[in-house]
């Protein structure tokens, strides 16, 4: 830490302000002054709460601790805290300083998280001159411009890798002609049904019970499961007994994601999952790859029901169309090729995700150095 810097606390440099604006209060208002929320611009209204440019921090709900700069003659919703720079402090300097704080250590609340100004206002704050503030800001702007360009490139590469994989899948599943068949799911599956429609009573141990939450990654999550007692299990298992090579398809909430039962386990499923049992006409992994392709998802999306939580009805799932080679050995060969593509794509995704993570950590490191006086050396 720079030895000639004096430190106070954040409260020495800013004042806090509160908003009482809710979406309900402004829904019928209109005007020229913007209101912002956690996700950005909300709407224009006929009034404003802040005359000058200011900072705001999300203090309630998702995204707590995220800092933003807002224009003069504007306002924020009540889920955000006004942070008002005192006269001798540069707003961009304060913006960078607030971004250097780990707000997780001030987080309270298990259902709806909160952070309180009374806690983070005590953060050590460098009481440096306006000149030095501007030098630090200029240096950070320069550093972050380069980092943001690198992040944009990594994000683009990540997206390109995903798009290339889906493009190859689309080419595979669009094939027609000699040796290829077009069928509906109901023509290639002996069973298409869903799990219990009753919300069961859960126990600390017992028989495994899966829902759509257990297949959102494309694989079955066997670690975060719920459990049933023997009585409930016997009733459900008598109706539907899942087995190896069955496909579990999320049909409520996060729809259109599937996973295959690849180990021999006894378990039951909830209504949010559909179970598809392939016949001898279709290789299970070929069907799985098709379901997780963009080509299938486009069909699912057209068939979604419900205005709130998206829902795929069983009758809609049964009518989804799939193209496949009539030769099972050819289906298996294609599935193996897709598996190899997936491995390569996952490797690229992991590489670019690590790049993004490293760049974000670099930003944090630079911010830490900046506010310890190590980023610039004044003459």
Contacts of 336 (CB under 8 A, 6+ apart): none
Q: What is the CA radius of gyration of the chain?
A: 28
- Span 59-69, average pLDDT: 93
pLDDT at position 335 over 60 = yes
Q: Where are the domains of the chain?
A: 7-128, 129-167+329-379, 180-326
Q: What is the pTM of this model?
A: 0.70
pLDDT at position 306 is 62
pLDDT at position 304 is 79
Least confident of 2-11, 133-142, 172-181, 212-221: 2-11
* Closest C-alpha among 39, 51, 126 to residue 82: 51
Which phi and psi angles does 50 have, rounded to 5°? Answer: -120, 125
Residue 218: left if φ>0, alpha if ψ -120 to 50, beta else—which one?
left
Interior angle at CA 113, CA 74 and CA 97, nearest 5: 55
Q: How many angstroms separate the Cα of 178 from the Cα of each of 103, 172, 182, 326? A: 61, 14, 11, 9
pLDDT at position 216 is 80
Which phi and psi angles does 226 have, rounded to 5°? Answer: -105, 170
pLDDT at position 343 over 60 = yes
Average pLDDT of every residue of the chain? 92
pLDDT at position 350 over 80 = yes
Using DSSP's 3-state secondary structure scheme, residue 25 falls into helix
Distance CA 245, CA 255 (A): 20
pLDDT at position 379 is 40
What is the dihedral angle through the alpha carbons of 306, 310, 316, 321, rounded to the nearest 10 degrees? 140
The predicted-structure confidence for 271-283, as pLDDT tens digits, reads as follows 999 999 999 999 9
Q: And the tokens for 108?
A: 């309270």
CB atoms within 10 A of CB 221: 13
pLDDT at position 120 over 50 = yes
Q: Which CATH superfamily is domain 7-128 in?
A: DNA methylase specificity domains (3.90.220.20)
pLDDT at position 378 over 50 = no
Q: pLDDT tier at 184 (50, 70, 90 boundaries)?
A: very high
Distance CA 200, CA 66 (A): 39
Same fold, 7-128 and 180-326: yes
The answer to whether 251 and 311 have CB atoms below 8 angstroms apart is: yes
pLDDT at position 377 over 60 = no
The CATH topology of domain 180-326 is Adenine-n6-DNA-methyltransferase TaqI; Chain A, domain 2 (3.90.220)
pLDDT at position 281 is 96
- Span 10-37, average pLDDT: 95
Q: pLDDT tier at 87 (50, 70, 90 boundaries)?
A: confident
- Span 162-171, average pLDDT: 90
Using DSSP's 3-state secondary structure scheme, residue 309 falls into coil
pLDDT at position 141 is 93
Distance CA 246, CA 190 (A): 10
pLDDT at position 310 over 80 = no
**75 burial level (CB within 10 Å; 0-12, 13-18, 19+):** buried
pLDDT at position 376 over 70 = no
Maximum average pLDDT range among 52-56, 133-137, 151-155, 366-370: 52-56
**What secondary structure does DSSP assign to 250-291, as a single string?**
E-BSS-S-EEE--S---EEEBTTEEEEEE-TTS-HHHHHHHH
What is the dihedral angle through the alpha carbons of 352, 358, 359, 364, rounded to the nearest 10 degrees? 150
**317 burial level (CB within 10 Å; 0-12, 13-18, 19+):** buried
Distance CA 226, CA 215 (A): 14
pLDDT at position 153 over 80 = yes
* Closest C-alpha among 229, 235, 227 to residue 208: 227
Least confident of 188-202, 249-263, 274-288: 249-263
pLDDT at position 60 is 92
* Closest C-alpha among 59, 62, 65 to residue 78: 59
């Amino acid at each position: 830490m720079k030895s000639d810097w004096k430190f106070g606390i954040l409260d020495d440099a800013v004042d806090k302000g509160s908003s009482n604006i809710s979406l309900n209060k402004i829904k019928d208002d209109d005007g020229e002054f913007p209101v912002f929320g956690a996700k950005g611009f909300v709407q224009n209204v006929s009034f404003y709460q802040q005359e000058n440019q200011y900072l705001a921090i999300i203090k309630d709900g998702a995204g707590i601790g995220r800092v933003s700069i807002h224009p003069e003659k504007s306002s924020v919703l009540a889920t955000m805290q006004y942070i008002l720079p005192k006269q001798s402090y540069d707003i961009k300097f304060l913006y960078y300083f607030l971004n250097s704080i780990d707000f997780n250590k001030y987080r309270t609340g298990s259902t709806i998280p909160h952070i309180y100004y009374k806690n983070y206002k005590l953060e050590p704050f460098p009481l440096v001159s306006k000149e030095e503030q501007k030098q630090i800001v200029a240096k950070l702007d320069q550093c972050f411009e380069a980092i943001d360009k690198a992040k944009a490139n990594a994000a683009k590469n990540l997206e390109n890798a995903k798009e290339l994989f889906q493009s190859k899948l689309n080419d595979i599943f669009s094939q027609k002609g000699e040796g290829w068949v077009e069928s509906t799911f109901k023509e290639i599956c002996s069973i298409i049904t869903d799990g219990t429609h009753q919300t069961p009573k859960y126990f600390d141990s017992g028989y495994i019970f899966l829902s759509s939450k257990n297949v959102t990654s494309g694989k079955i999550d066997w670690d975060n499961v719920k459990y049933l007692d023997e009585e409930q299990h016997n009733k459900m298992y008598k109706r539907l007994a899942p087995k190896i090579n069955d496909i579990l398809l999320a049909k409520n909430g996060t729809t259109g994601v599937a996973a295959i039962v690849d180990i021999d386990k006894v378990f039951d499923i909830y209504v949010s999952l559909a179970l598809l049992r392939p016949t001898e006409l279709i290789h299970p992994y070929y069907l799985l790859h098709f379901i997780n392709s963009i080509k299938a998802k486009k069909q699912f999306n057209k068939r979604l029901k419900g205005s709130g939580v998206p829902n795929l009805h069983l009758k809609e799932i049964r009518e989804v169309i799939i193209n496949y080679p009539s030769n099972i050995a050819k289906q298996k060969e294609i599935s193996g090729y897709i598996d190899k593509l997936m491995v390569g794509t996952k490797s690229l995704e992991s590489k670019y995700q690590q790049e993004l993570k490293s760049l974000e950590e670099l930003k944090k490191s630079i911010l830490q150095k900046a506010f310890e006086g190590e980023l610039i050396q004044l003459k």
